Structure 1
């Protein structure tokens, strides 16, 4: 049995909150996408009836929800999931890699990207990655135990 790990509980909650925000953007439409800093060309396409942005956003929400489930499983809140350690390492690495974009200011000036959006999302995702990494590190020995 994996014992409770508050770092992973927080990490999972952050991922679920992000998934819900993505779903809210789909429901809220272009105004919501603009409010969170989505690229204007994608919003314009959505306004012209192209559903690609909504599909991408839904896909991201599903991935974030799965990542939240892995954090909750690692925290002992739900049953173990397959490849727990591997998944938590990969999730931590992806969040940290995205968050570390903050150290490359040129990424902030790419066409179609809002520098404010890039700054804030980099900071937020860096926090997500740190909570996953710390939680995974703290649960490492418990995550290796085979459940019979």
Structure 2
């Protein structure tokens, strides 16, 4: 039985699915999409040259986001409980929240990414991390101890 509290994890999962689709679009549509989403001119040029690096990096991100979406749905009770759901939800929320607040330290490592990219992507990460955190907190007792 779903409660109103599982809506946060469902929303987090939906956001992860949407982010995975956007990243998949970069792989399919190439340089212009990498540029639009602020991945930097170097990634865009490598994609246009047919180099594998952008595809590999972006594919890993797509797969990670899809797994995280499934854990969100698992925590929400929409799909069968996945192994270590509680731990996974804590880790996922933490990664999104840390990524959201650590952009200032990350910016020098990716100098081609625009300030707009960092502000928007960090805001999105904080939002999704907040959904995972709030949903996990509200579902904590429902998730049970076997998944701790």
Same fold (TM over 0.5): yes
Q: Secondary structure at the match of 2:102?
A: helix
Distance in 2 (CA, whole Å) between partners of 1:60 and 1:45 is 17
- 1:9 counterpart residue number: 10
What aligned pairs does 1:1-148 form with structure 2 within 5 A after superposition? Answer: 3=3, 5-101=6-102, 104=104, 107-108=106-107, 110-146=110-146
Contact persistence 1:33–1:43 (CA under 8 A): yes
Contact persistence 1:3–1:142 (CA under 8 A): no
**How far off its partner does 1:63 sit?**
0.5
Q: Secondary structure at the match of 2:125?
A: helix
Could you give the per-residue CA deviations for residues 67-120 of structure 1, whole angstroms, max 9, x where no partner exists?
000000100100000001000000000000001135x3x644652221110110
Aligned pairs, how many?
Answer: 145
Measured on the aligned residues, the alpha-carbon RMSD in Å equals 1.9
Distance in 1 (CA, whole Å) between partners of 2:111 and 2:18 is 28
TM-score for both structures, normalised by structure 2: 0.90
